[in-house]
């Protein structure tokens, strides 16, 4: 999307300090390291940095203008626009661009688990017939959502935005920037309890999705609490889940390492399909996709055909194979609900002759519920009965305590680096299925990175 100085000044109610009103910007960037020539640089202020310190570097790298909320003495022939707050201005610019430059249908995806997979599947299906622009990766914050909008081609017909929350008010701000025509609420589970307090706080934060919703809400109906809460506030609700009473439901027929086979029932018929993605989370993401795509006029058969070739995001129940070693990589992030799903998936795809090794890291940001949550996961681990349990981090040691009570072989590590080194040193030629699961901050993907190295024979 191209913008001019005049448009930017108008959108952010800024003051043009210097530069040409007709200057055109090829895009918008907040990172001087990845900025492309011809872009507008928006310096943001964080706890450990101030982007204003990098304005000169951004100009050297090709920026032709920048926003600022402090005095910048620059002799470069660049556009300088003064605003009250650069982060607020970034959101204002995105909101203006969405209204004035795009004619796109906005789909917002929120929830505790499954946002990125659901967003990816929706985008892949809709792109069969429409010009779709979606959130790259999981850039779902008050920085990522505006940058996604500002990075959309002007011919975009559908904008699929992942919207995250760690505190009250987050989703409200995001939906004010990009009011959705369709909302998707994937789940409500324990997450970010340090800032949200408890499940009621999570529910209240996620329901901020409804405040600017201009159309139907596609909601996971398996949680009765969510359904009761949204029915009081939304005119049109479309439910999905594993119960046959929902508008879109599924019967899971088979989960193997090749993927998941299931039958979908919807208001306009039923269809059976196989996806390469694994487990119940993939099925729920597919059901949400069916609901969204049918709202936009796609047939069941079209949707199923597209989903059968769909790819999921990395680090979400992703299989990495080499000979007798198979890693189930689900280390992108973790909370109690996603940890349970990963454990169940590992148990389902385990083969009779294989050793099952669980490498489990801390579930972070659970506040006062941390001890209870980790001990509960430990008890589920005992029910599954792995051959070996590796626990990584402070809180995961409680999982190890429960495993040791049941006399499961348990190895303990303080960091992912220690665990990765031990993984490389381990000489175990027997067939193994290894599950990696932990919060983003635990960096358990380092084990996969080592496993992909020539040392272990991965390509």
Supply the pLDDT for residue 458: 39
Domain at 318-456, CATH class: alpha beta
Q: Which CATH architecture has domain 102-308?
A: 3-Layer(aba) Sandwich (3.40)
Taking alpha carbons only, the member of 90, 288, 277, 283 closest to residue 182 is: 288
Taking alpha carbons only, the member of 418, 425, 377, 422 closest to residue 397 is: 377
pLDDT digits (tens, 9 = 90+) for 245-267: 999 999 999 999 999 999 999 99
Where in the chain is CATH 3.40.1390.10? 3-84
Gap between the Cα atoms of 310 and 297, Å rounded: 19
Q: Is the pTM of this model over 0.95?
A: no
SS3 content of the chain, % helix, strand, coil (to 5): 40, 25, 40
Say if domain 3-84 classifies as CATH 3.40.1390.10.
yes
Supply the pLDDT for residue 451: 65
Supply the pLDDT for residue 456: 45
Supply the pLDDT for residue 112: 86
Gap between the Cα atoms of 90 and 11, Å rounded: 10
Residues of the chain with pLDDT under 70: 451-459
Where in the chain is CATH 3.90.190.20? 318-456
Supply the pLDDT for residue 454: 41
Gap between the Cα atoms of 85 and 204, Å rounded: 27
Supply the pLDDT for residue 321: 87
Supply the pLDDT for residue 36: 95
| 8 A C-beta contact, residue 128 and residue 205 | no
Supply the pLDDT for residue 455: 44
């Amino acid at each position: 999307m191209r913008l001019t100085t005049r448009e930017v000044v108008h959108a952010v109610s800024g003051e043009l300090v210097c530069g040409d009103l007709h200057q055109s910007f090829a895009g918008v960037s907040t990172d001087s390291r990845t900025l492309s020539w011809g872009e507008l640089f928006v310096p943001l202020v964080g706890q450990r940095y101030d982007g204003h310190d990098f304005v000169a570097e951004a100009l050297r790298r090709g920026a032709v203008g920048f926003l600022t909320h402090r005095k910048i003495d620059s002799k470069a022939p660049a556009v300088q626009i003064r605003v009250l707050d650069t982060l607020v201005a970034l959101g204002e610019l995105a909101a203006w661009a969405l209204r004035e430059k795009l004619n796109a249908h906005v789909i917002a995806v929120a929830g505790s688990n499954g946002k990125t997979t659901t967003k990816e599947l929706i985008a892949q299906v809709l792109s069969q017939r429409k010009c779709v622009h979606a959130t790259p990766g999981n850039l779902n914050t008050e920085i990522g959502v505006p940058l996604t909008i500002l990075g959309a081609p002007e011919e975009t017909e559908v904008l699929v935005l992942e919207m995250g929350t760690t505190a009250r008010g987050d989703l409200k701000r995001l939906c004010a920037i990009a009011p959705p025509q369709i909302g998707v609420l994937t789940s409500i589970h324990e997450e970010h309890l340090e800032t949200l307090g408890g499940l009621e706080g999570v529910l209240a934060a996620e329901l901020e999705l409804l405040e600017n919703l201009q159309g139907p809400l596609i909601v996971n109906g398996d949680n009765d609490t969510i359904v009761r809460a949204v029915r009081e506030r939304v005119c049109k609700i479309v439910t999905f889940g594993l119960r046959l009473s929902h508008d879109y439901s599924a019967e899971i027929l088979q989960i193997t390492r090749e993927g998941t086979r299931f039958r979908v029932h919807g208001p306009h018929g039923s269809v059976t399909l196989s996806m390469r993605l694994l487990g119940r989370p993939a099925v729920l993401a597919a059901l949400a996709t069916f609901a969204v795509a049918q709202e936009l006029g796609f047939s069941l058969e079209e949707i199923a055909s597209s989903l059968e070739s769909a790819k999921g995001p990395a680090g979400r129940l992703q299989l990495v194979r080499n000979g007798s070693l198979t890693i189930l990589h689900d280390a992108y992030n973790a909370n109690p609900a996603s940890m349970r799903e990963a454990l169940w998936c590992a148990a389902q795809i385990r083969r009779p002759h294989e050793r099952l090794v669980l490498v489990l890291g801390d579930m972070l940001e659970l506040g006062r519920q941390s001890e209870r949550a980790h001990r509960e996961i430990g008890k589920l681990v005992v029910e599954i009965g792995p051959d070996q349990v590796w626990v990584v981090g402070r809180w995961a040691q409680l999982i190890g305590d429960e495993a040791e009570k049941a006399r499961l072989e348990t190895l303990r590590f303080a960091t992912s680096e220690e665990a990765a080194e031990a993984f490389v040193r381990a000489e175990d030629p027997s067939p193994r299925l290894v599950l990696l699961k932990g919060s983003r901050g635990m960096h358990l993907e380092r084990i996969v990175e080592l496993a992909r190295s020539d040392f272990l024979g991965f390509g």
